[in-house]
Amino acid sequence: MGKILVTGASGQVGRELKKLSGKGDFLFADRASLDITDMEKVKQFLGKHPVEAVINSAAYTAVDKAESEPEKARRVNGEAMETLAEACRIRNLKLIHLSTDYVFNGKNHRPYREDDPAAPVNVYGQTKWEGEEIIRTINPENAVIIRTSWLYSAQGSNFVRTMLRLGAEKKEIRVVDDQVGSPTYAGDLAAALLKILPKLRHKKVKTYHYTNEGVCTWYDFAEAIMEYKGLPCKVIPVPSSEYPTPAQRPSYSVLSKEAIKKDFDISIPYWRDSLRKCLRVMGF
């Protein structure tokens, strides 16, 4: 297929896509080179740089900060989706948009399916849900929304890098043990997106879930990081009530991945294997 525009190029998924992109087939845009909230700038960019597909990995992801900056989060996560989805509809471009497990309230006791009711418990999740709904309303052909969770990579700001820093600095750390989900290595997600993109053939926007296989708590995740890195730092499990944050987190946000595996013939790695892979990339 033709050129692919990747928004959010400086983010975790954007950087992983750049590693996998090869030569000449991709355009990578960050906030400085393309303001996705500005329809005229998007039109000008697409007029100057013809593409056949868009992977939107741009997002306002500061979950706690979003509680005090709801309008800023809404512009990027919600309103900007009108600009991108409309541009894709008019130009008949394929579209992959990344969303989040935080559209759910965490009260399930089984993995969330794509058609389960959304009920965000924080501003970040609410604005991402609003963005999803805007895309569905505009309904560009050959478009998918892919929800993911607990994203990390060798670069950027994420849980793995934070734990490695704290583990090297401290003798013990306290990590919540009552939030359950699935980590996602951005490199695995990026590879899956590139496999999915050429296979998009449908009229109606579809929603899928992608995370690494397996389930854990943040405490389990931290324990694994310390173990694989060989850090002597002791990880102490604590309830979320002992680690208050401005934004509430869902207590359970495991996502069902049966649909994406079936429709696109994707094999998804187990989270511990992917964590080891990421640490090797980081030189550990």
pLDDT digits (tens, 9 = 90+) for 139-183: 999 999 999 999 999 999 999 999 999 999 999 999 999 999 999
In a domain, 82, yes or no: yes
Q: Record the tokens describing residue 241, joined without a space.
A: 């009530």
Q: Record the tokens describing residue 157, joined without a space.
A: 């700001």
DSSP summary character for residue 235: E
Q: What is the pLDDT of residue 24?
A: 64
Q: How many domains does the chain have?
A: 1
CATH number at residue 75: 3.40.50.720
Q: What is the pLDDT of residue 284?
A: 78
In a domain, 245, yes or no: no
**Residues 153, 15 contacting (CB under 8 angstroms):** yes
In a domain, 241, yes or no: no
Q: What is the mean pLDDT of residues 241-266?
A: 96
Percent of the chain with pLDDT over 90: 95
In a domain, 14, yes or no: yes
Q: What is the pLDDT of residue 5?
A: 97
Residues contacting residue 89 through CB under 8 Å, at least 6 positions apart: 138, 139, 140, 141
User: pLDDT tens digit string along 34-67?
Assistant: 999 999 999 999 999 999 999 999 999 999 999 9
DSSP summary character for residue 255: B
Q: What is the mean pLDDT of residues 106-111?
A: 95
Q: Record the tokens describing residue 110, joined without a space.
A: 């089984």
Q: What is the pLDDT of residue 208?
A: 98
Angle in degrees, CA 263, 256, 281, rounded to 5:
85
In a domain, 174, yes or no: no
Q: What is the mean pLDDT of residues 24-32?
A: 90
Residue 152 among the catalytic residues = no
In a domain, 137, yes or no: yes
Please state, in angstroms and rounded to a whole number, the distance separating the CA atoms of residues 86 and 12: 25
Please state, in angstroms and rounded to a whole number, the distance separating the CA atoms of residues 81 and 258: 26
How far from the centroid of its chain's Cα atoms is residue 139's Cα?
Answer: 21
Average pLDDT across the chain, whole number: 96
In a domain, 177, yes or no: no
Q: What is the pLDDT of residue 1?
A: 59
Cross-sheet strand order for the sheet of 53-56: 26-29, 4-7, 53-56, 94-100, 143-148, 206-209
Q: Record the tokens describing residue 243, joined without a space.
A: 């680690």
Host domain of residue 75: 4-158+183-212+253-269
**Residues 3, 147 contacting (CB under 8 angstroms):** no
Q: Record the tokens describing residue 271, joined without a space.
A: 């989270």
In a domain, 39, yes or no: yes
Q: What is the mean pLDDT of residues 11-30?
A: 90
Catalytic residue among 124, 152, 219, 252: 124
Residue 23 has pLDDT above 70, yes or no: no
